[in-house]
Amino acid sequence: MHINPVILPALLWLYTISGITAMPIGTPDLSHCQPFSNETNCCIINSTNIVDFKLPDKPPETLRVRPAAHLVDKEYILKYANATKLMKSLPFNHPWNFIQQANVHCAYCDGIYNQSNFPNMTLEVHGSWLFFPWHRMYLHFHEKILGKLIGDENFTLPFWNWDSAEGMEIPSMYTDANSSLFDNTRWKNHKPPNILNYGFLDGRSNNNMTRQIEANLRVMYRIMVSGAKTTELFLGGPYRAGDDESSSAGSVEIEAHSYIHLWTGDDMSSFTTSARDAIFYAHHSNIDRMWELWKGLPGGKRSSYNDTDWLDSAFLFWDENLQLVRIRVRDVVDTKMLGYVYQEVPIQWLSTPPKVRDGEEMSSAFSLVELPVMLDSAVNINVELPERKMESMEEVLVVDGIEFDARVHVVFDVYVGGSGTSRKAFAGRFDHVPVKKWKKGAIGTLLVRKRLVLGLTDLVEELRLERGGRALVTLIPRSDRGVMKVKVGAISVQLST
């Protein structure tokens, strides 16, 4: 249930006149949980004793190093597998139990809690500026608990280095059927030596491994460099108390993150169950690493938000001392303060920028439509391209009013070109990871409304599009999981400072 949009401005006005200007997302009330069903209960184990997370005054002298999963030795694998085995052997109602740990992700990512300060609004940490910091918190506590179970306070999670050619297949530590790190629900046809193809070579799948690796690296360049020049493009759009879930996901979240979830397999292919596969934590460790890498890239406005609504958003987790801890985003903006860094490995995508192709997908042949439109086939839309008043302005493509059933996998590609030319460029992808179930008693569809924001400036310049003129945006639906019904409400090119 959402707040009526007619009422929301009045609530915001009341906040303003009362002197309350900050509206960060508050910690959920764990005593009011709405489980999906008796079979799927993701409610976090509650406690009446909640303590605040305490960040040290300075980083430790020796930082823990999270290693690349494909580079670890046998000793590390045995240690990690033993820690996970111990976690899985705990009583089911123990907060450290592996399924209870997985339930934490389910709880915050499938809307079974409401916002504490807006009790009629569901809480969702995907698709906004909360995505990166929340998952950093989650991994931090999971890592600490694993270390506690094996008596090693220096233990670190590995990262799945899927952004490098050597790391684009499932790491070997997760493929041993006798290991606690194995999950038998993964897609069998995606086990090694098959590699990820989240790039879809120039928009199409292919069987050439060398070309696929290159296509993947080009996608990484776009979502980390050319398409992620501002804080909002990378971290995602604002999500404040009282907002619904229609904010915009950042570049890495909406593409590489989502596709790898879906590519890996059944547990991983839904937010409801994804953390039941141990590879989830390696996947998100690399997502966390992307945040650190992005901040160090040259060009653009690559810094985290300083908005107090972001910094003061707070969540609850069980820690390694069996305490329920309240932690805020401001506590996790620096990994060194949390005591860890990442192993340095070559960053291959930095030297692999995307290429613009002529006549890509023959998109000029697709029908020209007016919005809104049901995206049941590929379509073209004419969009005005505003003139930039300052060179520092970034052009962003906003695809708004994307409506669909959240229980369905929805994916479509976006191309941009000139209205009078066949030159097209792949601008990005919308990729939604479905939920498996919803609240008990739900019937019909679970309609959600999302938006997609893509960095466009480099493409405009490379395509030599005329600012002040028109661009042709092509949307191409893609799904290998049956029919998807998705509606697109509006498309525009906007200027961001």
Please write the tens of the pLDDT for every residue from 125-150: 999 999 999 999 999 999 999 999 99
Please write the tens of the pLDDT for every residue from 201-249: 444 444 688 888 998 999 999 999 999 999 999 999 999 998 876 678 9
Same domain, 347 and 440: no
Same domain, 393 and 460: yes
| SS3 category, 100 | helix
Q: Where are the alpha helices (DSSP H) in 322-421?
A: 335-338
User: Using 50, 70 and 90 to split pLDDT, how confident is the model at 355?
Assistant: confident
Q: Is residue 277 part of a domain?
A: yes
Q: Is residue 16 part of a domain?
A: no
* Count of domains forming the chain: 2
* Tokens encoding 428: 């990005």
Element (H, E) at 106: helix 98-109
Which residues are known catalytic residues? 105, 126, 135, 257, 261, 271, 284
Q: Which of 21-35, 214-228, 349-363 has the highest mean pLDDT?
A: 214-228
Q: Is residue 69 part of a domain?
A: yes
CA 326 to chain centre: 22
At residue 122, does pLDDT exceed 70? yes
Q: Which of 65-74, 182-191, 383-392, 432-441 has the highest mean pLDDT?
A: 65-74
Q: 490, 473, 492, 482: which is closest to 405 by C-alpha?
A: 482
CB 70 within 8 A of CB 167: yes
CB 421 within 8 A of CB 471: no
At residue 55, does pLDDT exceed 50? yes
Q: Is residue 6 part of a domain?
A: no
User: Using 50, 70 and 90 to split pLDDT, how confident is the model at 5?
Assistant: very low
Q: Of the candidates 334, 351, 368, which is a domain's last residue?
A: 351
Element (H, E) at 251: helix 251-252
Element (H, E) at 143: helix 131-149
Range of the domain at 404: 357-496
Q: Is residue 242 part of a domain?
A: yes
Q: Is residue 468 part of a domain?
A: yes
| SS3 category, 257 | helix
Q: 329, 317, 326: which is closest to 143 by C-alpha?
A: 317
Position 362 scores a pLDDT of 45
Same domain, 347 and 371: no
Same domain, 478 and 346: no
At residue 17, does pLDDT exceed 50? no
Same domain, 399 and 321: no
CA distance 49 to 27: 14
Same domain, 366 and 327: no
Domain CATH for 408: 2.60.120
Position 278 scores a pLDDT of 98
Same domain, 361 and 327: no
Same domain, 361 and 347: no
Q: Of the candidates 351, 369, 397, which is a domain's last residue?
A: 351
Same domain, 338 and 447: no
Element (H, E) at 397: strand 394-405
Same domain, 71 and 147: yes
Domain CATH for 37: 1.10.1280.10
Q: 148, 204, 438, 167: which is closest to 286 by C-alpha?
A: 167
Amino acid at 184: N
Torsion of CA 428, 477, 243, 491, to 10 degrees: 70
Q: Of the candidates 351, 373, 403, which is a domain's last residue?
A: 351
At residue 79, does pLDDT exceed 60? yes
- The C-alpha R_g of the chain, in whole angstroms, comes to 22
Same domain, 381 and 347: no
Torsion of CA 252, 256, 258, 259, to 10 degrees: 160
User: Using 50, 70 and 90 to split pLDDT, how confident is the model at 176?
Assistant: very high
Q: 113, 86, 144, 435: which is closest to 281 by C-alpha?
A: 144
Residue labelled with tokens 């670890």: 72
CB 107 within 8 A of CB 227: no
Q: Is residue 11 part of a domain?
A: no
The per-residue pLDDT of the chain, averaged, comes to 87
CA distance 281 to 373: 38
Q: Phi then psi for 353, rounded to 5 degrees? A: -70, 155
At residue 485, does pLDDT exceed 90? no
Q: Is residue 250 part of a domain?
A: yes
Q: 187, 124, 190: which is closest to 432 by C-alpha?
A: 124
Q: Which of 203-212, 215-224, 407-416, 466-475 is least confident?
A: 203-212
Same domain, 177 and 196: yes
Position 400 scores a pLDDT of 93
Residue labelled with tokens 């989502």: 258
At residue 317, does pLDDT exceed 70? yes
